[in-house]
């Protein structure tokens, strides 16, 4: 079968190549999925550029991109009873097993859920990474409670559009940051207040929040701490990693010993500022979780959350899709279909 392989680092539109891939066979506790759709994520570009070499395993001959997958079960390994052939499923592949840009993949049972019945394959593919990231950030790391205020610092992207809806479901007061071009989109998702970053900074008002969900790197983690109430929480997928990352990484012992001081130093200024301001700061990696996706399916089927899909491209037009993703103007998610 044919798929897209990443064999070296560089611009993603140049280093992804169409190559023959051996059809995998499910092992015990695994299922074989025929891929129908794959959603794109900014992390695909970061991996291809080599920006995450210190965190993720080195590129091998196996594909390592394409983590949001929706498809149909075509075979099951031994001891699999929770899924059967022809089930329509979706999942977020773990970063060390990413292989969504191919006709077939194998996945572990605890990473997979039945896709929402009321969604197309294209719509369902837009959910897994965004949903899991939002749920883990807001519910697990921030321990959000009804009535609290939350600032979502990138509201119009794939994660942001889900996070807004999930936070409203939890009865939080939601302020989201986006370009003025996307203000109407955020209002339609139920946000209480939009801050247009091209017109003002979220620090200008002096307002403080119980939770700040940070999705952009550079100086934003520091700004997010400054915008958080004393005793509040910043949850980040954009700031520098800290030492709590290390035990979760797929690296050998020597690499782990080297990463502890490296991550400790890079995150030190942020940790010091958070301590001084009485703010909890959590930088985390999203975990694949089929049970959480089952709950997402229920929310979607009940009409409480809807995916936001900007455009759908056939797989053959993946270069155009990634060019658009690099523009940072995507509203919600981009999806590839016609995986052959």
pLDDT digits (tens, 9 = 90+) for 120-143: 999 999 999 999 999 999 999 999
- Cβ proximity of 247 and 257 under 8 Å: no
CA 49 to chain centre: 18
CB neighbours of 87 closer than 8 A, spacing ≥ 6?
A: 72, 73, 114
Residue of 204, 208, 203 whose CA lies nearest to 229: 208
- Cβ proximity of 52 and 125 under 8 Å: no
Place of tokens 């075509």: 74
User: What is the pLDDT at residue 216?
Assistant: 79
Which ranges of the chain have pLDDT less than 50?
A: none
H/E segment holding residue 205: none
Listing DSSP states for 61-129 in one string gives SS-----EEEEEEEEE-TT--S--TT-EEEEE--GGG---SBSEEEEEGGGEEEPPTTS-HHHHHTSHH
Structure-token pair, residue 284:
């985390």
Residues paired with residue 333 on neighbouring β-strands, in sequence order: 309
User: What is the pLDDT at residue 56?
Assistant: 62
Structure-token pair, residue 38:
């794959």
- Helix ranges (DSSP H) in 105-189: 121-125, 128-135, 158-169, 183-188
Output the CA torsion sign for 252, 254, 257, 259.
negative
Place of tokens 């929310």: 299
User: What is the pLDDT at residue 59?
Assistant: 59
The upper half-sphere exposure of residue 71, i.e. CA atoms within 13 Å in the direction of its Cβ, equals 33
User: What is the pLDDT at residue 109?
Assistant: 95
Burial of 13: CB neighbours in 10 Å, binned 0-12, 13-18, 19+: middle
User: What is the pLDDT at residue 54?
Assistant: 63
User: What is the pLDDT at residue 256?
Assistant: 76
Binning the chain into helix, strand and coil, the percentages to the nearest 5 are: 35, 25, 40
User: What is the pLDDT at residue 60?
Assistant: 53
User: What is the pLDDT at residue 57?
Assistant: 57
Distance CA 206, CA 192 (A): 17
- Cβ proximity of 156 and 191 under 8 Å: no
pLDDT in tens, 167-193: 999 999 999 999 999 999 999 999 999
């Amino acid at each position: 079968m044919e798929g897209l392989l990443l064999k070296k680092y560089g611009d993603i539109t140049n280093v992804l190549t169409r190559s023959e891939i051996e059809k995998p066979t499910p092992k015990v506790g695994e299922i074989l999925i025929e891929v129908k759709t794959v959603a794109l994520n900014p992390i695909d570009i970061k991996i291809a550029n080599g920006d995450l070499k210190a965190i993720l395993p080195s590129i091998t001959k196996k594909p390592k991109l394409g983590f949001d997958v929706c498809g149909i079960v075509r075979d099951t390994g031994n001891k699999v009873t929770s899924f059967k052939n022809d089930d329509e499923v979706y999942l977020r592949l773990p970063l060390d097993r990413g292989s969504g840009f191919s006709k077939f993949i194998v996945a572990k049972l605890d990473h997979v859920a039945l896709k929402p019945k009321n969604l197309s394959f294209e719509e369902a593919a837009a959910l897994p990474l965004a949903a899991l990231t939002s749920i883990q950030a807001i519910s697990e790391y921030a321990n959000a409670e009804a009535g609290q205020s939350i600032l979502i610092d990138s509201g119009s992207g794939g994660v942001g559009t889900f996070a807004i809806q999930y936070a409203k479901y939890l009865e939080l007061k939601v302020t989201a940051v986006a370009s003025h071009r996307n203000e109407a989109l955020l209002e339609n998702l139920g946000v209480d207040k939009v801050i247009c970053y091209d017109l003002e900074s979220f620090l200008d008002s002096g307002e403080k929040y119980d939770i700040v969900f940070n999705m952009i790197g550079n100086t934003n983690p520091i700004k997010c701490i400054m915008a958080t109430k004393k005793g509040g929480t910043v949850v980040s997928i954009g700031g520098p990693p800290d030492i709590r990352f290390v035990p979760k990484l797929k690296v050998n012992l020597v690499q782990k010993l080297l990463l502890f001081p490296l991550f400790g130093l890079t995150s030190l200024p942020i940790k010091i500022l958070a301590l001084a301001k009485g703010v909890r700061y959590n930088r985390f990696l999203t975990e694949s979780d089929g049970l959480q996706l089952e709950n997402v399916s229920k929310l979607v089927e009940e009409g409480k959350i809807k995916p936001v899909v900007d455009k759908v491209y056939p797989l053959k037009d993946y270069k155009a899709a990634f060019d658009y993703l690099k523009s940072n103007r995507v509203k919600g998610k981009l999806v590839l279909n016609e995986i052959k």
